[in-house]
Structure 1
Amino acid sequence: MEKYIDIIKNSYSGYWRYLKHEIISVNHWDNYFYGLIIISVLVWVLEIIFPWRKDQAIFRKDFWLDTFYMFFNFFLLNLIILIALSNTVAAFFNDILAKIGLSISSFQLFDVDDLPKVLGLFVFFIVSDFVQWNTHRLLHRVPFLWNFHKVHHSVKEMGFAAHLRYHWMEPVVYKSLLYIPIAIIGGFDAQDVAIVHFFNITIGHLNHANLGWDYGILKYVFNNPKMHIWHHAKALPKHVRYGVNFGLTLSIWDYIFKTDYIPHSGKDITLGFEGDENFPKQFLAQELYPLNLNDKKK
């Protein structure tokens, strides 16, 4: 037990030092703090210059709530719980494997360090995106998980910052299900992973932005605003009652597994989910919503 307590304490102190360094230091290109700000501002400018819904305000409904979510989920959540929890669970999992004479390296198929850097990053990108696509489907199909995912689907007007409006439990689920698949293909250099991470953030911001783009023929490969808005549609046909267009960065999984759905332009469709008129509007109430047993039964 003392080992796990030390892991938690070291995780907090280590991440706090990292966060302070990210805010103070601006001389490295893979700075997540300023990288998020730059990507957000650029996509917001695109929204302003090329708005799809021209009557939507620049400071749309819940703009500031979503902006808070963006920084809370990307930085403060890691400080409060996520890094410590992830490190503790990883150590616990490794200890369980050790008791039966195994280690995480026992499952490793290959080490991406043995591959050319570009190929290694491509493998990491494809594997992680496919696992996250499946995880996203679970968030819609499992009632317990759907109650957490409702926070993201409570968005009523799409904009770039809606990308990172989600309940803190979501990254716990995503990271847990990603742990073994990523371990199987070996370790990655932090700076190399930053390239993939920034690319994913950019595509995610664009998906939620007030932009009417589909990237032409590339729509069959990359998720896009015209596709993703249907993922947030309040009304869907019964045959897709668990949702559609689950792609995060890539749309190709939806086309392969027949979960794609773009019946017409979704420019003015109503967003949300059934019963969202009763969903909390404030941050803390939204975070506590899944714990409300009465609401969960509705």
Structure 2
Amino acid sequence: MEKYLELIKNSYSGYWNYLKNEILLPNNWDNYFYGLIAISLIVWLLEALFPWRKNQSLFRKDFWLDTFYMFFNFFILNLIVLIALSNTVAEFLNDILGAVGLSLSSFQLFDSTDLPKWLGLLIFFLVNDFVQWNTHRLLHRFPFLWNFHKVHHSVKEMGFAAHLRYHWMEPVMYNSIRYIPLAIIANYSSHDVAIVYFFAIAIGHLNHANLGWDYGKLKYIFNNPKMHIWHHAKELPQHVRFGVNYGLTLSIWDYIFKTNYVPYDGRDIELGFEGDEHFPKDFLHQELYPLKTKS
């Protein structure tokens, strides 16, 4: 127990020092704090130059709420719980495996250092995105999980910052499910992983932006604003009542597994979910909503 308490303590102090240096002493290209700001400003500028819904304000409904969510979920949440929880669970899992003479490396499918870097990162990206696609489906399929995911679907006007409006339980869910698949294929530096995450952030911002793009033939590979807006549609036919277009970065999984749905130009469709008029409008009550609501 003492080992885990020390690990939790070190996780808090370590991430605090990391975050402080990211903000005050930026000296690397893979700075997540300023990288997020840069990507956000670029996509916001694109919204200003090429708005799909021309009557939508640049400071759309809930713009500042979503901006707060963006920084809270990407940084403060890590400081409060995610890093300590992730490190503790990882150590606990390693201890259990060690008790029977195993380790995660025992299950490693290949040594990523034996592959060209581009190929190793491509495999990491594909596995990560596929696991997230499946996790996203679970969030829609099970009422208990859907109550948490409603926070994301409470967006009524789409904009880049809506990408990171989600309940804190979602990253716990995503990270828990993808931990083992990534652990048995991945052995990459933080610089390498940053390439994948910056790309995912950029595509995620674009998916939620007020942009009428679908990337032409590339729409069958990459998720896009014209496809993702249907994921947020308030009304869907009965045969797809649990949701459509689950892709985070890639759309290819939806086309392969027949969960794609873009019946027509969805620029002006109503967003949200049934009963969203009663959903809390502020951050604190949105975070508390799943804990007070029966599945």
TM-score, scaled to structure 2: 0.99
Deviation at 1:26, TM superposition (A): 2.6
Deviation at 1:187, TM superposition (A): 1.2
Partner of residue 169, structure 1 = 169
Partner of residue 18, structure 2 = 18
Alignment of 1:64-103 (within 5 A): 64-103=64-103
Partner of residue 132, structure 1 = 132
AA aligned to 1:116 is P
Deviation at 1:270, TM superposition (A): 0.3
Deviation at 1:101, TM superposition (A): 2.1
Q: In 2, Cα distance between the equivalents of 1:216 and 1:25?
A: 41
Q: Number of residue pairs matched? A: 295
Deviation at 1:121, TM superposition (A): 0.6
Check conservation: 2:206, 2:224, Cα contact below 8 A.
yes
Q: In 1, Cα distance between the equivalents of 2:71 and 2:166?
A: 11
Q: Percent identity?
A: 78
Q: Deviations over 1:229-254 (max 9, x none)?
A: 00000000000011000000000000
AA aligned to 1:91 is E
3-state SS, counterpart of residue 233 of structure 1? coil
Q: Deviations over 1:178-231 (max 9, x none)?
A: 111001113111101101100000000000000000000000000000000000
AA aligned to 1:74 is F
AA aligned to 2:248 is L
Q: In 1, Cα distance between the equivalents of 2:157 and 2:120?
A: 38
3-state SS, counterpart of residue 55 of structure 1? coil
Q: Which segments of 5 or more consecutive residues in structure 1 lack a partner in the other structure?
A: none
Q: Deviations over 1:144-202 (max 9, x none)?
A: 11111000000000000000000001000100111110011131111011011000000
Check conservation: 2:51, 2:211, Cα contact below 8 A.
yes
AA aligned to 1:21 is N
Alignment of 1:1-298 (within 5 A): 1-292=1-292, 295-297=293-295
Deviation at 1:32, TM superposition (A): 0.4
Q: In 2, Cα distance between the equivalents of 1:113 and 1:224?
A: 33
Check conservation: 2:124, 2:186, Cα contact below 8 A.
no
AA aligned to 2:234 is K
RMSD: 0.7
Q: In 1, Cα distance between the equivalents of 2:92 and 2:26?
A: 35
Q: In 1, Cα distance between the equivalents of 2:268 and 2:31?
A: 37
AA aligned to 1:126 is L
TM-score, scaled to structure 1: 0.98
Deviation at 1:296, TM superposition (A): 2.6
Spell out structure 1 runs of 4+ moving beyond 4 A. none
Q: Deviations over 1:96-144 (max 9, x none)?
A: 1122221111111112111101001100000000000000000001111
Q: Which segments of 5 or more consecutive residues in structure 2 lack a partner in the other structure?
A: none
Q: In 1, Cα distance between the equivalents of 2:151 and 2:96?
A: 34
3-state SS, counterpart of residue 296 of structure 1? coil
Check conservation: 2:4, 2:88, Cα contact below 8 A.
yes
Q: Which moved more, 1:28-37 or 1:101-110?
A: 101-110
Q: Deviations over 1:6-26 (max 9, x none)?
A: 111000000000001100123
Q: In 2, Cα distance between the equivalents of 1:105 and 1:262?
A: 42
